[in-house]
Every structure is written in structure tokens, then in C-alpha cells.
Structure 1
Amino acid sequence: MEALNKANTSFALDFFKHESQEDGDKNIFFSPWSISSALAAVYLGAKGNTADEMAKVLHFSRLEGTRNVTTTMKMQVHSRTGDRQSNRCVCFQKTETGKLDDIHLGFKALNVEINQPTKNYKLKSVSQLYGEKTLPFSKEYLQLAKKYYNAEPQSVDFMGAADETRREINSKVEHQTEGKIKNLLPPGSVDSLTKLVLTNVLYFKGNWATKFNAEATRQRPFKVNMHTTKSVPMMYLRDKLNWNYVESVQTDVFELPYVNNDLSMFILLPSDFTSLKKLERELTFENLSAWTSPELMEKTQMEVYLPRFNLEEKYDLKSILYRMGIQDAFIEGQADFTGISEQGELVLSQVFHECYLEVNEEGTEAAAVSSATLASRSLGATIIVVADHPFLFFIKHNKTKSILFLGRFSTP
């Protein structure tokens, strides 16, 4: 499971870097876990070069074969508490041995863990594969999709009733996400030539372990870039939190746990815009694991100022994945999905992904308002962090270490 987590996280960071280079000021928000697992269900029926390209981009090719590797990580860690600043060197070793788990068995195990019924939060992953009914799914593929992904691909009438099919898909997604995600497939996104469509959404709703003080929320300025400032409702929390300061990228890293600690939001707040660029460049699986590891973070009294915000981002993944290297899958005559349908005409027409997130005092829903300015500083033994400029964040399923959501909040 650890090897699969590394593959999924590596894909997540590749995707993030790809998007962050497109536009330095835009918000980014997506579910790498959701995209990886949805594409893995398609990869299940891919053959030849189509499968090779998918495996490379999704980092699945590294999961094949046998290996016995010990990695030693040595890091200089800086602690700030009051007027004290200390440096310590921490080493930790990780050994991965034996034949790595089959990819699809790994996803099945992760799905079971992540989708455990709980009263602590709502997490709905909705992935569905729709295929043109004149190109029927093979019985073997239907059995394997059900076995590994608990998925039931559906045959629909794109050829004879494309728009009606599109509306039905949208209606289903809206219902499954409690009305948060509407019109996932825009008008014209499917037509009579559409062969295979993958839809993928993840809806999350959870409450903080310690709620922000709603009465302390005030309107404050948020610096979008060097020239632009916007007003945001800034929330306030005083609590003992896991915290780490990463000197190499001049970034405060801290953890905001949700109820029962099943999930946590990690905030990576660089000191300024230059540090943000450096932080994004240095994002690797190894660095992210180290910066947020329990060995390096310390329980610290903190005062946190964080914007209250909503993010709803929609991605046409076809163009993004194509530029990342998954190409044959989308090209008629080159796509090889003979593991999905014995008729060799199947091609992936569209991949749609949408995520919705609301961050507020409760964790998801609440309100309050007013005005002032703040600065990050150290007050006695308390660390004060003010997220009044762009920052990165991710929501992690703590038991499996899976990154469910990853984003950059750049503009209110």
C-alpha cells in the first residue's frame, strides 16, 4: 500500500506542477486520489502502448517487479519557540521489500479503508465509466471492475441520444454530491461520435477537531500578488497544533485535524511570493513526506489566521493528461482498450473531474464579519501564522497517508 501511495502522490505533484506553471495566480484544487483510482479502473482494460503511457504518467510502472530498497533521509530541522531557535538533524530510514502489491489489489484495499462508513465526516467518491452501447463492455472487464473498484460501467446511447444521456449523467452526479456539483458535463461535451466517457467527482464535508472562533472572524486584506489585494473573511484559531518550519523553502507547515483525527488538512504557508515559487519547485514525494512527518513536526501553541473560502474547480482532464503523456488513449485508431471491449474501436473521448470544498469555522458551514491588518510573528512561546497571501494545502487520510485533495489558494 505504501508503494501505491508513493505512486499516487507522485502523480498528484506532477499534476499540480503542470497546473501551477499554466497560471501562477489561479486557484488549483483537485482530488489526486479520485483521479488516480478512476484512471486505474480504465487502465485495468488498457493494452499495449496505451497501457504503457498510462502506467508511466500515473507512476504505476514503478510498482512492477521486485525490489529491496532502503532509503535514508537526513534533514536539518529548524525549531522556533519564542526567542529560541534550535537546529537538529533527524535521520530516518524506510525499507521496502519483496514483490510490490498488484496495483488493482492495492486500490481495492485503499478504497475499503478510505470509504469506511463513519459519522465523523462525509466523503463521497463518484466515478463512473460510460460506454457507447454499440461497443459493449466485455464480461471479464465488468467482473474485474466490480471486483477491484466496486464499479459498474454503464452502456449508454451516445449515438442516438447524446444530450439526453449528458443530462442524465449530470442529474446523477448532482444527486450523489447533495446538490454541490451541477452540470459536470457542459452542453456539447458529448455527441453521437462519443465512445467512452469517464466522470469523476469527490465531495467532502468534515468538521475541525477544534473549531475556529466564529466571533473572531474579521474582514482582512489578502495579497493575491505583488500588486493586487482583496478583502477576505479571516478566521482565527488558538490551539496546540503540529507545526514545522522548513528553512530551505522558508515555509510554515502546520496540521489542522478534523474530528477524530481520521483526516487532516495540512497548510504550507511560504513567507512570501518568492518562497512560494521555490516551494512549488521543491515539491517531491520525499520532501512532502519529510516536511509533514510526525518525526519532524512538533506540538506547538499557535495562533492561526486562515481565510474562510469556497473552492469549486472543474477540469477537462483530456487536454491535461494528453500534455502529461497519456496520448494514445484519446486517439482513434491508436487507443487499445481491447480489455474493456473486444471490439477494438473504443477510444477515451472525455475525462471530467470536479471538486468542491468549503473551508469555514466549523470545518464546512458557518458565518460572521468586520476589519484590521496582521503579520506573522512569534509571541513568547506562541507561533502566529497569518495566511494573508497564497498558500498550498492538502487533505490527507491519515491511516493510509493518501492525499484526497491538493490545492493552492491564490485568490478569493
Structure 2
Amino acid sequence: MVGQVAGKRDTGSGRPDARLALGQCRIYLALCGVLLGTSSSCHFGALTPSHHIAVRYCLWSSLVVTAMSEIQFSVPGQFILAYPHQEAVTMLAQSQNSFTRDLYAQLSRGKTGNLFFSPFSVMASLSMVFGGAGGRTQQEMKSVLHLTQDTEDLYNAFHDLLTDIKKESSDYELRFSNMAIISAQLPILKEFADTLREKFLSSAKAVDFEADDAVREEINTLVEQETNSHIKDLIAPGLLTSSARMVLVNAVFFKGLWEHQFDLTATKEEDFWISEKERISVPMMHIRDKEFRMAYRSDLGATLLAMDYKGSKLSMLFVLPDEREGLPAVEAKLSQMDLLSNLNLGLHAAKIEVAIPRFRLEEKLDLADHLIEMRMRNLFDESLCDLSGISGGKDLFVSHIIHKALIEVSEEGTEAAAATGVVIMMRSLPMTFIADHPFLFYIRDEQSGLLLFAGRLTDPESHRPKDEL
């Protein structure tokens, strides 16, 4: 018998697989179809009452199984509702993982040190504008964002995901803020405004950019409220001028507790190697004899570790290079891979010892120049930009895309604001994951496959709170 319908997320150790669930449902539906076909060949007038019951039951079963095609199974005896537009969400996850890979490569190119951003928030903001783009502007955006779906599927996928993110939980907090700030001198088409409100749960706001300070303070206040006071002063003085026409603002905040928390008493100052010969002393957190998902990837020259958050479908994935100075080589290999499939490859549950540094990162970026380098050019060109689906004319362009993100990883959990030829091996027990040199990390949604945050840690001391120094 099918278990009870659950109205909340799967919090078990097993991770749901939408494709398996849908496949099972199709089998059930096919079986019911066979039974219906057999019964329908009879003359209903000649059927006994028991036959009528059988036919009614099969008809009812067909309806139930059809509804179950939108249900995602988790652990035996339980299942949870999947996304209403599951295929569209899967396509978006593929696009977003590819965009994350490319954007990470762009941001890290020529930049040393720590890095942290939210590719999901950036893509959501750009996707809001994509529907209003036309001509070459739309083609460039589609290419850079790796969009293969039509606009309606894109909108439906974001609606499903953002609705899911908005759900309240006592175990974790995930907040985001996406806004399109447009000059009051330009009209906003009703269709575009409706799309932002209905699909992106967001809004377009008309402002007078000549009132620089007032507009800046209003935007900063809204962002601060949406991120529970963790993101402050997003728009710096002087950034907004009378020549501004449109500014995309996005901020995101996540706070979650580890499913298996580190022991506070086990944290101690230890060495973290920022290069082969240079080391610093940092607070290193330890946990033993707990089960995590891990894999050694010889194709990357790195070990992967997934740590789950309590009460959610989110996890943090660490990518630790074999060598102390192996981060650039691992980054180069990841830049050529399909992240959606490769980041899960070979992960296997095992009891291991884990040691990672306590750290805090904060990043503020204007992404316009980076996106131009990625060949999304017309969007930022006043003479070439076509956003006629937003204003009805071609007099609108994007001047800035401001992004700010924050993450703090501690013993209790995390706060974050903003196959061919693969050899997979498991190391012999006892197994350890000692992150005592630079590594990459992602915070991802295990259900959808989306990457909410991405970054690298090369120096845990750079943003260490002053009271700890």
C-alpha cells in the first residue's frame, strides 16, 4: 500500500529521485490502462455488480496514479509532492548549473583569494529581464544563461522554486530579495509587471533616479528587511545617477543547522595552509563517527564531502583538492564539466572524521562587466539594448547588477546571505576529510539540483570577526 501523503519536505537520510518516482507512476498507470482496456471490451449491461466495482476501482486508480505522476517518493512508505512543473524545473537546474560553472570561472579569472556568490539569485534576477528582451539582446542572454526551454517553462520553473523557497520552516531560514528598479520616466508594461508578481514573486519599482539618496536608502531598507538585517548598504552612495535607467538588485540569505553538528569543545586552533609553504592558525572544527556522503574523484584530483542541513533538502558540498596548491587545477577541470551530474557522482555514505575551518565570507559585486566578458553585451549598451517587452520601446538598458552575498560557517551550521572515463574510488577506513588548505564549496538544493551558493575559501582569516582575533 502507498504510504501517507506528507505535506512537508523529506527529512530522511534518503534523497528523493524524481525520475525514479515518475517512472514508477507511469508503470502503475500503464497497468491500470491494461485493466481498463480489458474491462471496456465487455458489454457493461452483462456485468455483475462486482464487475462494475472492479471497473470503477480501476477508473479511480487511473485518476489517482495520474495525480501521483506529480509526486516524488522519498523513503519507503512515504512520499512528498514534487514540483507542479517538474520537467521545467529539471531543465532550469541544468541551465543554472551550467551558468554557475561559467560565472564562477569568470569571477575567479584573474582574482586571487576568497570568493562567494549566489548563482541562483543572479540567474533569477536576469531571468526576470529575459522575458522582456528581444532581438540580439535576448539571444545573448539565452546563450549565456544556457536556456533551452521556452519562456513559459522558464517562468513556471521559477514560480515553483520560489514558492518552495518561501515556505516557512522552524529548522532553517532562506530569504531572498529580487527587484527591478526602473526610472519613473519610462513606462512599465502591465504584462511584464504581472509576470514579475505572479511568476517571480517580485516587483518592478519606478523611481526618480535624480533623488539619489532617497532611492538608495529605500532600496537598502527593503533588502535589509528581506535578508533579516544581514545584508546592509547594498547600494553605495553615488552609484545611482540621473542617467540610470534600470538597476537589478538581488540579495539572498540562508541560515541552517547541520544535521550532525560539530562539537564546540573540539574546536581548536590548527594550521591552514594557504600555500605549499605558508600557513596560518585558524579555529578548526571537528566531528567524528557521523555518517556523511563522500567520494574520492581521481579525475578531479579532489575529495568531495556533502553535509546535510537539518530539516531541509539543502546540503553543503565541499571539494577539497589533493594538493595544498591544487585549487587552480581543480577549478580548471570543473570549468569543463557538467556540474549537475558530476557533483553527485560517486557520493557514498560512510562514517568519517571531518575537520573544516570556521569561516565567514562577504562579497559585493557589480556583475555588469563580468557578464559583458561572458558575451552578454547588448543588455548593458544604451544604443543596442532591446528591452521592449518591459517598457514598450528600445530606450531601456541595464546600468548595474549589484550582488551581495554573505556566508558564515560554524559548529552549529551555516548562515549565507546572498561520464566517461571517470574513476571513482573510496579510500580505506578509517576515512577522514581534513580541510586544512584551500577548497571550493557549494550550497545546493538536493531536490531540484539548483546551486544556491558557490564559492572558494583560500584564507579563513580574511573575514574573521575581530573579537576572535
TM bucket (normalised to shorter chain) is 0.7 to 0.9
Task: Please list, as runs of the form range in 1=range in 2, the aligned pairs for 1:173-212 lying within 5 A after superposition.
Answer: 173-212=223-262
2:339 matches 1:251: no
Letter in 1 for 2:304: V
Partner residue in 2 for 1:355: 405
Provide TM-score, normalisation by structure 2: 0.74
2:143 matches 1:56: yes
Quickly say closer, same or farther: Cα 1:281–1:347, change in 2 above 3 A. same
Partner residue in 2 for 1:11: 99
2:97 matches 1:46: no
Letter in 2 for 1:312: E
Partner residue in 1 for 2:387: 337
Contact 2:258 2:308 in 1 (8 A): yes
Moved over 3 A (4+): 284-292
Partner residue in 2 for 1:394: 442
Contact 2:98 2:338 in 1 (8 A): no
Consecutive unaligned residues in structure 2, runs of 5 or more: 1-88, 416-425, 461-469
Partner residue in 1 for 2:459: 411
Pick from 72, 88, 105: which aligns with 2:156?
A: 105
Contact 2:162 2:201 in 1 (8 A): no
* Partners of 1:39 and 1:231 in 2: CA distance: 40
* Partners of 2:388 and 2:284 in 1: CA distance: 53
Q: Give the number of the structure whose residues are more often helix, by fraction.
A: 2
Encode CA deviations 1:236-284: one digit per residue, 9 max, x unaligned.
Answer: 0111111100012221111110003411001110111453222111215
Partner residue in 2 for 1:314: 364
Q: Which moved more, 1:279-288 or 1:14-23?
A: 279-288
Q: Give the number of the structure whose residues are more often strand, by fraction.
A: 1
Partner residue in 2 for 1:220: 270
Consecutive unaligned residues in structure 1, runs of 5 or more: 65-99, 366-377
* Partners of 1:265 and 1:358 in 2: CA distance: 12
User: Once the 2 structures are TM-superposed, how far is the Cα of residue 225 of structure 1 from its aligned partner?
Assistant: 2.1
Pick from 375, 379, 384: which aligns with 1:325?
A: 375
Quickly say closer, same or farther: Cα 1:402–1:179, change in 2 above 3 A. same
Pick from 375, 378, 381: which aligns with 2:429?
A: 381
2:110 matches 1:22: yes
User: Once the 2 structures are TM-superposed, how far is the Cα of residue 163 of structure 1 from its aligned partner?
Assistant: 2.1
Pick from 315, 329, 335: which aligns with 1:264?
A: 315
* Partners of 1:296 and 1:379 in 2: CA distance: 12
User: Once the 2 structures are TM-superposed, how far is the Cα of residue 116 of structure 1 from its aligned partner?
Assistant: 2.5
Count of aligned positions: 361
Letter in 1 for 2:233: N
* Partners of 1:380 and 1:10 in 2: CA distance: 33
User: Once the 2 structures are TM-superposed, how far is the Cα of residue 153 of structure 1 from its aligned partner?
Assistant: 0.5
Contact 1:267 1:394 in 2 (8 A): yes
Letter in 2 for 1:279: V
User: Once the 2 structures are TM-superposed, how far is the Cα of residue 63 of structure 1 from its aligned partner?
Assistant: 3.0
Paired-residue identity, %: 33
* Partners of 2:152 and 2:92 in 1: CA distance: 8
- 1:158 aligned counterpart, secondary structure: coil
Contact 2:274 2:324 in 1 (8 A): no
Contact 2:317 2:441 in 1 (8 A): yes
Provide TM-score, normalisation by structure 1: 0.83
Quickly say closer, same or farther: Cα 1:129–1:247, change in 2 above 3 A. same
Quickly say closer, same or farther: Cα 1:210–1:285, change in 2 above 3 A. farther
Contact 1:253 1:291 in 2 (8 A): no
Pick from 318, 333, 345: which aligns with 1:282?
A: 333
* Partners of 1:148 and 1:290 in 2: CA distance: 27
